[in-house]
Structure 1
Amino acid sequence: MYICRFAIKKRNHLHSRELFSNSVWINNQLQPATICYENGIITAIHFEKKVTAEDYGHAVIMPGVVDVHVHVNEPGRTEWEGFETATQAAAAGGTTTIIDMPLNASPVTTTLKAFEDKLAATSGKMHVNVGFYAGLIPGNVAHLKAMLQAGVVGVKCFLTHSGIDEFPNVTEKELDEAMPIIAQYNAPLLAHCELYDTEVACGFEEHPTSYPHYLASRPKQWENDAIALMIRKCREHNCPVHIVHVASAEALALIEAAKKEGLPITAETCTQYIYFNAEDIPDARCIYKCAPPIREKANNEQLKKALLSGVLDFIATDHSPAPPGIKEMESGNLKKAWGGIAGIQFLLSGSWTAVKDIMTLEQFIPLVTSKPAAFIKAEKKGAIAIGNDADIVIWHPEATTTIKDEDVWFRYKISPYIGQNLYGTVSETIVNGETVYQNNLIKNKNKGKWLLQK
C-alpha cells in the first residue's frame, strides 16, 4: 500500500485531489481504490477508501480515453471544425487525448512549416491533450524527417483519393521511398486502405441517394487488396504499419496472418463500423456516409470478435465533420456528400454500447485507453499508475442517455449518434489534473498539452 504524501495539503491545494470508487481501473482490473494526484500527476494509490477522499460509489474511474484518429480541420477549414469545439466534445465524451490527422486542414500537414502552423492554431483551444500526424503525399518525402524530428507521432497516407485535392494518394513508388525513412524513427505509417483503378459499375450514378448503391460502389475487395499491399510493404521495409478504420471483415485473416508472422503491423476499427449496420441505414441520410462504408451486420459482428481476439488492436472515431451544405443534408445525395462521421464525443459510449453484448467491461476498457496509448508511445497515458498523468474519466457504464442536439459539443449537430440511446454516461473528465467537463458543463478550458513524440 502506498502512502499519499500530499493528503495533508489537500484542503489548501486547488490542484490536489483524492478520488475513491469501488470500481477503479488499476492493473487491468476494476477494484476499490483511492487515487491521489497533485499538479497533474498521480502521486499515490490506496487499495482502500481514505477518509479524506471524494467517494464516487460504484462509478467507474479509469484512464481518460485516447482517440488516435481525429480530423480537427484547423487551420484553414475551421468553419468545418476547430480545436475549440472538437476538444470540448472530446472531453464531454470522456476522451482526454486526441491525435489529429494531417488532412482537412489547409495547409495540409505535409511540411515542417505546415506543422508549425498547426501547432500555432491550437493556441488557447486545447481542452484535451493533442498529438499530430504528418502526411505522406507524392513529392514530400524529403520533408518527413523534419516533421518526425519535430514530434509527430506517425505518418498518414491514402491509397485512394482522400477527398482533399491537396492530399493526393500515394503509389508503391512513394511507399518505397518513404518507408525506410519512417522505419528509422520507429514511427508508424498509417494507411487508408482502399485500392481501385475504376469505378464499380453498380448503378450508383443513377441512384445517388441509395445507401445500398453507395455500399456497392466501395466493395470489400478494395480494402482487402490495399491491406495486402501494405502488409507486403511492411515485410519489405520492416516499417511499422497501421491500418486505419478496418471495415472489411474479409481482411481480418490477412492482418492476423501478418501478426503471426511477426510483422510490425497494427489495425483499428471505428465506433461506426461496430455500432451501425448497413441494413438499418435509410436512403438519403448522408450522416452515415463514410469511407470505407459502414457494412452489413454479419460483417460488423466479425469486427467486434476481432477486437476480442486482438486481431484488431483498438477503437478510434475517425471524427470527420463537415458543414450541412457539404454534407448534402438537404439533397441526400450520397454521391456528392462529404464522407465522414462526426463522432468524437461518442468513442466511449458508442463503442461500449456496441460491444457490451459480447465482451466484459474489463475486456473493453483497454481498447479505448492503454492500447491506443501504447500505439502512440504515450507512456504517461492510458493507465492509472503512480507517476502517470492525471487524465481520468468518471463514468457510469450501465446508465443510458438518448442523445439530443443540445448534448453535442462539436461544431455542427450533424451525427448519426443523435437520437441513439447510448450506454455509459460521463460524470467528469479530468485532464492533467484539472476538471474540464463535469455534469454537462465545460468547467475549465485550455488544460490540454501537446503530445509530441520524443
Structure 2
Amino acid sequence: MSGHDLVLRSRRVFLPEGERAAAVAVSGGRIAAVLPYESEGTDLGDLALLPGLVDTHVHVNEPGRTEWEGFASATRAAAAGGVTTIVDMPLNSLPPTVTVAALEAKRKAASGQCHVDVGFWGGAIPGNLGDLAGLHAEGVFGFKSFLIDSGVPEFPPLDAAGLEAAFRAVDALFIVHAEDPVHVSSPERAPTFAEFVSSRPPVAEASAVATVIEIARRTGARAHVLHLAAADALPLLAAARAEGVRITAETCPHYLTLLAEDVPDAATEYKCCPPIREKAHQDALWQALRDGVITCVVSDHSPCTPDLKAGDFATAWGGIASVQLGLPLVWTEARARGFTLEDVVRWMASGTAGLARIPGKGRIEAGADADLVAFAPDEEFTVDGASLHHRHPVTPHHGRRLTGVVHTTWLRGVPAGDVPRGRFLTRGEQLA
C-alpha cells in the first residue's frame, strides 16, 4: 500500500468537491492523499466512503447522571452510527459545565472511556458571566443558554438582558434553546400528545428566535438556534441571514422523520422540547435545508432512565436518544424527498464541523483526520431498541424500517467501537 497505513478504495467517495471513485490513503491517523481509484488497497465494493459525522448536540450526562448515559455508552453508540466526533452539552451532568473546575471534572470523568473524539460546550447561566472567558480560554467551543426552563434546576435560563450580557462578555459562539416561556404553558397533566404540542406552540419558538436575532444584530455576536422544529421561525432566520446577522440554525432527525399526527397517546418516548410537530412544519424544515436556511442536522441525543419516561406527556422527561440512528434516519427520508447522500454529508459532517470550527473533521481531503465511514446506502434494517449501544433501549424509532447501514467506522484510520481511542478536542486547536 505504498508505505501507507491504510488505503480504502470506493467507487463512491464523498469529497469536498463532490462524489467520485477514488482511493483514500491514511498515514499516522491523517489522510495522506486522495489517490486514483485504481490504486492498490482495500476495496470496499459497493460501500460508499463518507467522512465521519460530527454531532455537535449530544447530552452525555456524565458525571452526576451517569445512570442516564455516560461517555463509554454514548461514544460507542456514536461510533456504531458513523459519528466520529461529538460535542457534549453542558447540562444534565453534575456539575454542569459552567466553570473551569466543572469542565476539568467532566474531562476527568470522560478520560479513557471515549470511542470517538469529544469536545465540550460551556454553559451561560445567571451568575456565571465572569466564568465565560476562562472556559473559552480552556477550549470550550462556545456557550449554551436557555430562554426557558431547562428541566434541571442547576442550569437556569437567561432572560433577554442576561443573554445580551453573555453575548457581549466574550467573543464566542452562543447556541440557544429558543422557546419563549410567555407562550408556553405547563399543564399538570397531558395524557395526549396533542395536548403536549399545544402547550408549546410554534409561536414560542418564533418569538424566542426573534429575540436571539435582535440580540445578535445589536451585538454582532455569532449565534446559533438549536433543534428548530417550527416553520414559523424560518422566515425570520432567512431575513436575518440575508441582512448579514451572524445567525445559523439546526434541526434534528426526529423533527425530520416523525409526525405529531402519528404519535400514539401515552407514547412518552416521543416527548422532546420543542415537540415533534405536524407535517406542514416538517415539510418546511426540509425546504429550509434545501434553501440553506438550516445548515446542520444533529441528534440532540438526550437520554434518561426508563422510569423518567413514565407518566404522561406533562411529567415525562423530554428527550430522544438517537446518536446511533441519525444517519439512516435522515438518509431514509432525504432520499425519499429527492435529496442526495452528498446533501446528508453536508448537513451532518462538514456543516457541523464548520459550525463548531473543528479543524480536520467532517471532510475527506489530504491533511484531515482519517475519520471515515463505510456506508451501505441501499441496505435496509429494522431498528431494535435493545440492540442499540445507548445505555437504555427507550426510543421512538423501535420497529422502524430504515435504509442505510454503517459497516465500519474508522477513527483516525483505526476501526472505532471496541477500544476507546477518542481524544479531547479544544476550540482553536490546529492541525499539525
Is contact 1:42-1:388 (8 Å) kept?
yes
Instruction: Show CA shifts across 1:24-79 (max 9, x none).
Output: 011331111010102211111112221x3110122110100111001000011000
Q: Which residue of 2 aligns with 1:3?
A: none
User: Helix, strand or coil: the match of 2:14?
Assistant: strand
Residue among 428, 432, 435 paired with 2:412:
432
1: CA distance between counterparts of 2:266 and 2:388?
22
Q: Which residue of 2 aligns with 1:127?
A: 115
Instruction: Show CA shifts across 1:372-397 (max 9, x none).
Output: 11111112011101111000011011
Q: Which residue of 2 aligns with 1:241?
A: 223
Instruction: Show CA shifts across 1:227-283 (max 9, x none).
Output: 000000000100000000000011000000010001111100001000100001000
Equivalent residue runs for 1:48-447 within 5 Å: 48-50=37-39, 52-183=40-171, 187-197=172-182, 199-200=184-185, 204-205=187-188, 208-328=190-310, 331=311, 333-358=312-337, 359-436=339-416, 442=417, 444-447=418-421
2: CA distance between counterparts of 1:397 and 1:367?
16
Task: Determine whether 1:42 maps to 2:31.
Answer: yes
User: Helix, strand or coil: the match of 1:356?
Assistant: helix
- Taking only the aligned residue pairs, the percentage that are identical comes to 40
Residue among 420, 426, 429 paired with 1:452:
426
User: Helix, strand or coil: the match of 2:182?
Assistant: coil
Per the TM alignment, residue 174 of structure 1 is displaced from its structure 2 partner at its CA by 1.3
Instruction: Show CA shifts across 1:308-357 (max 9, x none).
Output: 110001100100001011111xx4x1111000001111111111112212
2: CA distance between counterparts of 1:28 and 1:348?
21
Per the TM alignment, residue 406 of structure 1 is displaced from its structure 2 partner at its CA by 3.8
Q: Which residue of 2 aligns with 1:13?
A: none
Per the TM alignment, residue 198 of structure 1 is displaced from its structure 2 partner at its CA by 6.7
Give the CA RMSD over aligned residues.
Answer: 1.2
**Structure 2 counterpart of 1:346, one-letter code:** L
Runs of 4 or more consecutive aligned structure 1 residues displaced over 4 Å after TM superposition:
none
User: Helix, strand or coil: the match of 2:324?
Assistant: helix
Structure 2: give runs of 5+ residues left out of the alignment: none
Instruction: Show CA shifts across 1:106-152 (max 9, x none).
Output: 00111110011011111111100111000010000000000000000
1: CA distance between counterparts of 2:301 and 2:170?
25
Is contact 1:432-1:448 (8 Å) kept?
no
**Structure 1 counterpart of 2:32, one-letter code:** T
1: CA distance between counterparts of 2:143 and 2:399?
35
Per the TM alignment, residue 175 of structure 1 is displaced from its structure 2 partner at its CA by 1.6
Residue among 26, 29, 52 paired with 2:15:
26
Aligned residues: 427
Answer with 21-30 or 214-223: which moved more. 21-30
Per the TM alignment, residue 172 of structure 1 is displaced from its structure 2 partner at its CA by 1.8
**Structure 2 counterpart of 1:299, one-letter code:** H
Per the TM alignment, residue 199 of structure 1 is displaced from its structure 2 partner at its CA by 4.9
Q: TM-score, normalised by structure 2?
A: 0.97
Is contact 1:188-1:240 (8 Å) kept?
yes
User: Helix, strand or coil: the match of 2:135?
Assistant: helix
Instruction: Show CA shifts across 1:164-196 (max 9, x none).
Output: 10000001221222111232xxx2100000012
Q: TM-score, normalised by structure 1?
A: 0.92
Per the TM alignment, residue 298 of structure 1 is displaced from its structure 2 partner at its CA by 1.4
Is contact 1:182-1:239 (8 Å) kept?
no
2: CA distance between counterparts of 1:286 and 1:148?
37
**Structure 2 counterpart of 1:304, one-letter code:** W
User: Helix, strand or coil: the match of 1:450?
Assistant: coil
Instruction: Show CA shifts across 1:66-108 (max 9, x none).
Output: 1100100001100000000000000000000001000000001
2: CA distance between counterparts of 1:182 and 1:347?
32
**Structure 2 counterpart of 1:314, one-letter code:** C
Is contact 1:182-1:189 (8 Å) kept?
no
Q: Which residue of 2 aligns with 1:439?
A: none
